[in-house]
Structure 1
Amino acid sequence: MKRTQGVFVKGYTTIRVKGKFPEFFLNRCVDKGIVVWNVKKIDESTCEANVKLEDVSRLKKLRYKTPYKVHFHSRIGMPFLFQAVWKRKPLLIGFLFCLALIFILSNMVWGIDVEGVTPEIEHKIEESLSNYGVKKGAWKLSLDSPSEMQQKLLNDVPELLWIGITEKGTTYHLQGVEKTIVEKEEAKGPQHLVAKKKGTIVYMYIEKGEPKVEINDVVKPGDMLVSGLIGREEEQKSVRAEGEVIADTWYTSELSVPLEAEYQVLTGEEEKRYFLNLFNVAIPIWGFKEPDYTIKHVEKKEHDVHFFSWRFPVTLSTKNIHEQESYKEQRSVSEAVKEGIQQAKQELMNKLPIDSKIISEKILHQQKENGKVKLILYFKVHENIVTSYPITQGD
């Protein structure tokens, strides 16, 4: 059984041996190491059997020395199948060309549908997608994955609260949800405006209510800024005080800035490797050698492969390997101080209300120690310090 395994791949033929006692010829073939199987007796002078294609030449030489006649009845296996197809080369080439064309067209973008947003937002989404290379006729295997596109769109189109991207055949379907500005429901009762932190008032804009402070007044948390009680005491009326009170507020920040900065910079050298992923096994199909970069930055992308709407059970992944170089920069003390101030400003602005503004900064303490500059910084900020305080019947 083992001697006949894989015979279809290598090919075999069915022979008919004619002569007196044809079994003797087949026995002689076996003695010479020629594999013979499925032997059948057709009549008294004819036997039929299967012989490997690779043994045919030896069988012919053996027949020359015998009175037997050998006829080749049928040819079976891949070599004969390939030979038959190769005789029809134009048909084969046309068939392969059609398959390649269908494969290419099945992996291109032919439609982009955007739903759930206004025409203005839809136009912004389509413009952003075009910048990413996502447009009709684009080769899908070179594009970002839907999850990466979603994240980019959320960053580039601030009006979007959420967006989902599904890939159906050659079409991308996008379902978006816009951000809605939910106005805070006004309290039914009146209110005062009080200070939420210490500061020196520099500007006031009062829409409703009676101001209780003036410019340059110093206030502390809980001080009344604008009263919701207006009019004379005997005719006093409660209203919802509204307005802004901008004050100077102060913040301190402590940080250390190294005098030596290290950067990773791409040199521009890049190698690409392509893999077919089958059953969690990555089979390289292009770019077999890993580049010998000292420092590498690797980007991996994985794409589904389609034929019409059917997704192949394999995926194509690309691995972009960039060369990086490490640079060390020696800063002066003044450069380190400047960098520290910018860093502290950015951190402070992330904590402040969006309409706040840093007016000035001052270095309270500066010390060079162990290759670092230690700083204590003082910032003056203009910010709205009001917070509401409801008016109760006892007020």
Structure 2
Amino acid sequence: MQSQWLLALRGYATIELRGSGPEAIEALINAAVDRKMTIWDIRIKQRQVAELKIVIADFFRLKPLLKETGCRIRVKERHGLPFMLDRLGSRQLFVAGLICFVAGLYLLSAVIWQVKVEGNDKLTATEVLEAARAEGIRTMQWKFKLKETDELSRGLHSRLPGTSWVGVEVKGTQLIIKIVESKQPEQKELQSPRHLVATHNAVITQIFADKGKPMVKPNSVVRKGDVLISGVIGDEVHQQTVVANGKVKGLVWYTANVEVPLTQMHKVYTGETQRRDYLLIGGRALKLYGYRQQDFEREEIIEDRKTLHFRNYALPFGWLKERRMQVSEQEQALDQAAARSLGLERAKADLLMEAGAEARVVDQKILHEKTENGKVYMETLFEVEQYIMEEKAIVQQGE
């Protein structure tokens, strides 16, 4: 079948067929298909009644087929540009005004009305706009006079020191300059001497001292606050304090209370869909198809937007297709084993997020479990390997 916008340009009608029986209607439809007529959306309403859509040109070719099959037709709806022009009739002033309106809208949408700056922190908007004006970007500028967005991005990047990336995007009558500023390495403050101490009660699994004196070994048991890497090096006679640095991992134990409902809600597609088509003019959308459709109570919308281009220029006209899919929430019952597994996975994910980078669960145990009021309750014990060091300043005598 032809695309919807092409059918709208050609014009089509929704007609009702009435015949002496289903055989007559079937014969007419088969004959129309044999003659390569464009018909679609065929629906059998009753035993002797059918409904279909047909383009205008093929509608007038139905007459001999109606005589052959003894069927009758009734036009129910008319769609498309030819019928719209016919309804306008002698309203020439209205048509002229409509053309002027569209032309004016096109001219207005072909101009940049606003230049917006995003992502700047250290750079001021004034500095960015001055660089943009040097590249030909300013308000009341014709879009077709602008350079390609890639070329504008490179030009702005060269004019704005301290940026790692500059992007230019044109949305309707708005031009957006997106900036990512380069990050300068932070100047580290001078640190006073310090130890690395334990953040948790743990059993040491790994220790690496980049600077300082290791005070523990693998398999050592430490308590929170114990010194892991000392910032005091040397002997009793020749001592020196430094900023201890390194990495220490250990096994830490956590208990977590987990609660999982035995009934879970999931999003399910019902299979019901709707389609809506829009003509895009500048920043506005004119609906062409889908007027009488009712919104679903719950729905998910997928958009397919296309813009017309002339050579290397994007025109302020386009086409938007919306596909609306009805969704519903469906209950899913879990057995106790599935609920237990789901609860453990959620608890493990939360725990690893809290434990920090490179943490991993070594072992897990369920200490207590019960089911009541449609939920599974668990008390769990997790054994996690994670970094357990933090800095602690060395207090010198006399300070």
Q: TM-score range by the shorter chain?
A: 0.5 to 0.7
User: How do 1:117-132 and structure 2 match up within 5 A?
Assistant: none
Say if 1:257 and 1:373, in contact at 8 Å, map to a contact too.
yes
Q: SS in structure 2 opposite 1:222? A: coil
Instruction: Name the count of aligned residue pairs.
Output: 258
Say if 1:263 and 1:327, in contact at 8 Å, map to a contact too.
yes
Q: 1:363 to 1:115 in 2, by over 3 A?
A: farther
Letter in 1 for 2:347: A
How far apart are residue 194 of structure 1 and its match? 1.0
Inter-partner Cα distance in structure 2 for 1:330 and 1:355 = 35
Q: Which residue of 2 aligns with 1:245?
A: 248
- Correspondence 1:166 to 2:185: no
Q: 1:271 to 1:112 in 2, by over 3 A?
A: farther
**Percent identity of equivalent pairs:** 29
Inter-partner Cα distance in structure 2 for 1:163 and 1:372 = 52
Ranges in structure 1 where 5+ consecutive residues have no aligned partner = 1-77, 86-91, 119-159
Give the structure-2-normalised TM-score: 0.52
Q: SS in structure 2 opposite 1:368? A: strand
Say if 1:261 and 1:328, in contact at 8 Å, map to a contact too.
yes
Q: Which residue of 1 aligns with 2:205?
A: 202
Say if 2:280 and 2:316, in contact at 8 Å, map to a contact too.
no
Inter-partner Cα distance in structure 2 for 1:226 and 1:80 = 91
Q: Which residue of 1 aligns with 2:352?
A: 349
Q: Which residue of 1 aligns with 2:293?
A: 290
Inter-partner Cα distance in structure 1 for 2:149 and 2:245 = 48
Letter in 2 for 1:328: E
Q: Which residue, 326, 330, 341 being the options, matches 1:327?
A: 330
Q: Deviations over 1:46-74 (max 9, x none)?
A: xxxxxxxxxxxxxxxxxxxxxxxxxxxxx
Inter-partner Cα distance in structure 2 for 1:169 and 1:281 = 9
Ranges in structure 2 where 5+ consecutive residues have no aligned partner = 1-88, 111-142, 158-162
Inter-partner Cα distance in structure 2 for 1:304 and 1:165 = 18
Q: 1:292 to 1:246 in 2, by over 3 A?
A: closer
Q: Which residue, 377, 385, 388 being the options, matches 2:391?
A: 388
Q: Which residue of 2 aligns with 1:157?
A: none
Letter in 1 for 2:340: V
Inter-partner Cα distance in structure 2 for 1:292 and 1:80 = 35
Say if 1:209 and 1:228, in contact at 8 Å, map to a contact too.
yes
Inter-partner Cα distance in structure 2 for 1:80 and 1:231 = 101
Q: SS in structure 2 opposite 1:321? A: strand
How far apart are residue 292 of structure 1 and its match? 7.4
Say if 2:197 and 2:226, in contact at 8 Å, map to a contact too.
yes
Q: SS in structure 2 opposite 1:342? A: helix
Q: 1:322 to 1:379 in 2, by over 3 A?
A: same
Say if 2:258 and 2:344, in contact at 8 Å, map to a contact too.
no
Q: SS in structure 2 opposite 1:234? A: coil
Inter-partner Cα distance in structure 2 for 1:286 and 1:300 = 14
How far apart are residue 205 of structure 1 and its match? 0.9
- Correspondence 1:375 to 2:378: yes
Letter in 1 for 2:250: A
- Correspondence 1:365 to 2:368: yes
- Correspondence 1:232 to 2:235: yes
Say if 2:264 and 2:331, in contact at 8 Å, map to a contact too.
yes
Q: Which residue of 1 aligns with 2:342?
A: 339
Say if 1:191 and 1:389, in contact at 8 Å, map to a contact too.
yes
Q: Name which one, 1 or 2, has greater alpha-carbon Rg.
A: 1
Q: Which residue of 1 aligns with 2:224?
A: 221
Q: Deviations over 1:123-163 (max 9, x none)?
A: xxxxxxxxxxxxxxxxxxxxxxxxxxxxxxxxxxxxx9997
- C-alpha RMSD over aligned residues: 4.9
Inter-partner Cα distance in structure 1 for 2:182 and 2:370 = 47
Say if 1:200 and 1:247, in contact at 8 Å, map to a contact too.
yes
Inter-partner Cα distance in structure 1 for 2:358 and 2:167 = 32
How far apart are residue 367 of structure 1 and its match? 0.8
Q: Which residue of 2 aligns with 1:265?
A: 268
Q: 1:295 to 1:79 in 2, by over 3 A?
A: closer
Q: 1:203 to 1:288 in 2, by over 3 A?
A: same
Inter-partner Cα distance in structure 2 for 1:80 and 1:202 = 88
User: How do 1:300-315 and structure 2 match up within 5 A?
Assistant: none
Q: Which residue of 2 aligns with 1:125?
A: none
Q: Which residue of 2 aligns with 1:192?
A: 195
Inter-partner Cα distance in structure 2 for 1:348 and 1:181 = 33
Q: Which residue of 1 aligns with 2:48?
A: none
Letter in 2 for 1:377: T
Q: 1:375 to 1:205 in 2, by over 3 A?
A: same
Q: 1:179 to 1:251 in 2, by over 3 A?
A: farther
Q: SS in structure 1 opposite 2:237? A: helix
